[in-house]
Amino acid sequence: MEARRSQVVVGIDPDPARLWPAASERAPEARALLAGSLVAADRAAAEVAGRVSGTPPAARVAGDARFGTAAAVLAHCLALIDAAAPACVAAKPQFAFFEQLGFPGWLALEHVCARARAAGLLVIADAKRGDVPSTAAAYARALTGDPLAADAITANPLMGRDAVAPLLTAARARGAGAFLLVRTSNPGAADVLDLELAGGRPLWERLAEMTAELGAAAPGAPAAGDPGAGLADVGAVTGATAPEHLARMRELMPRTPFLLPGIGAQGGDVAALAPAFAPGRAAGLVSASRSIAGAGEARGGDPAEAARAEAERLRETAWSLV
């Protein structure tokens, strides 16, 4: 963050119906990336199979159409990363938008992560996984192992501590961390996360405590009494649409990095985030997706230039808060 003077995370949520028209210029590059992986895999398949006898099963038509869409989506993502990267510290691909394209989408996602890394960005895998212990560890391997090699993942703590801990352990083994959902930015978060517990506190406060405890229990965790000890490797997703909660969250999670989604399109206001940065600039990541990728639609002009300008505006506003 210090080197890039940025706390901005560019969210990558590509809707195939709303890709940048100009990104089609990048299509040959995207196609070459995908085709290269397929040719490599195909060659490996042939080797593994010892030259499969007979002809392969007929081409699956569905697979073909998805491949073209995946190439267009990847082209858009390459253009978005190149435009926004100079003002950002991380990229946050949203897995659903790639998974809906099937295995060609997952392959595109691998290239998106690689490009983000090549552009000097950290990668936050926004997959919101959570499952029983052995499965949670497999998810962490999927997201933080090669080739995605995410630096952090988002995770859902509903299933409890024994579901989250193996995910954290598996991520740590690859030098990665996690952000647990504590209070999300969608209006419906009030339905469950704001439920009042016996004793009068909302559920999200208990999740905040659990997040702080899991971070404090990590090997090499910052000492509780030392103000200069740094941050935990267990973060929290703290929706920026509820800024009145941020001071309380910081109180409950003094060493926890906050991932603050919901800026821009979802209604959050970056200037209201100051409490998140109480422990220092690195304590808050400001995430924006549609407000960056859709800046051109909102204001007119070239989408890449508008995205770059919006990411830079966010960067400057957030950096000036501390």
Q: Which of residues 94-153 bind its own copies (CB under 8 A)?
A: 94, 96-97, 99-107, 110, 128-136, 138-139, 141-143, 145-148
Cβ–Cβ under 8 Å, residues 9 and 286: yes
> Are the beta carbons of 264 and 298 closer than 8 angstroms?
no
Of 279, 314, 285, the residue nearest 90 (C-alpha): 285
Tell me whether residue 106 or residue 221 sits nearer to its own copies (CB atom): 106
Burial tier of 245 (Cβ tally within 10 Å: 0-12, 13-18, 19+): buried
Q: Any residues with CB less than 8 A from the CB of 208 and at least 6 apart, and which?
A: 182, 183, 236, 249, 252, 253
* Tokens representing residue 317 in the block: 């506003």
Single residue of 159, 218, 278, 322 touching its own copies by CB under 8 A: 159
Q: How far is the CB of 75 from its own copies (least distance, A)?
A: 11
Q: How far is the CB of 177 from its own copies (least distance, A)?
A: 18
Using CB under 8 A, which of the segments 73-81, 84-92, 186-194, 301-309 binds its own copies?
Answer: 186-194
Counting other chains too, the contacts that 292-301 makes at CB distance below 8 Å and 24 or more residues apart are 292/10, 292/11, 292/80, 292/84, 292/264, 293/10, 293/11, 293/12, 293/13, 293/14, 293/20, 293/80, 294/18, 294/265, 296/20, 297/18
- Contacts (CB under 8 A) with its own copies, residues 2-61: 13, 15, 28, 31-49, 52, 56-60
Nearer to its own copies, 139 or 277 (CB): 139
The yes-or-no answer on residue 92 being catalytic is: no
Q: Is the peptide bond before 147 cis (omega within 30 degrees of 0)?
A: yes
Site for its own copies in 235-254 (CB under 8 A): none
Backbone phi, psi, residue 185, to 5°? -95, -5
Residue closer to its own copies by CB (options 15, 269) is 15
Q: Between residue 271 and residue 310, which ones bind its own copies under the rule CB under 8 A? A: none
Q: Which residue from 5, 118, 175, 192 is in contact with its own copies, where contact means CB under 8 A?
A: 192
CB-CB contact of 109 with 117 (8 Å): no
Window of 195-203, 220-228, 242-250, 304-312 that interacts with its own copies by CB under 8 A: 195-203
Nearer Cβ to its own copies (6/185): 185
Candidate list 128, 141, 201, 281, residue with the active-site label: 128
**Number of chain residues interacting with its own copies (CB under 8 A):** 96
The two structure tokens encoding residue 162? 């024994």
| Per CB under 8 A, 188 contacts its own copies | yes
Q: Judged by CB under 8 A, which stretch of 89-97, 224-232, 243-251, 272-280 contacts its own copies? A: 89-97
What is the C-alpha separation between 38 and 6, in angstroms, rounded? 36
Residues 205-224 that bind its own copies (CB under 8 A): 206-207, 210
The residues annotated as belonging to the active site are 128
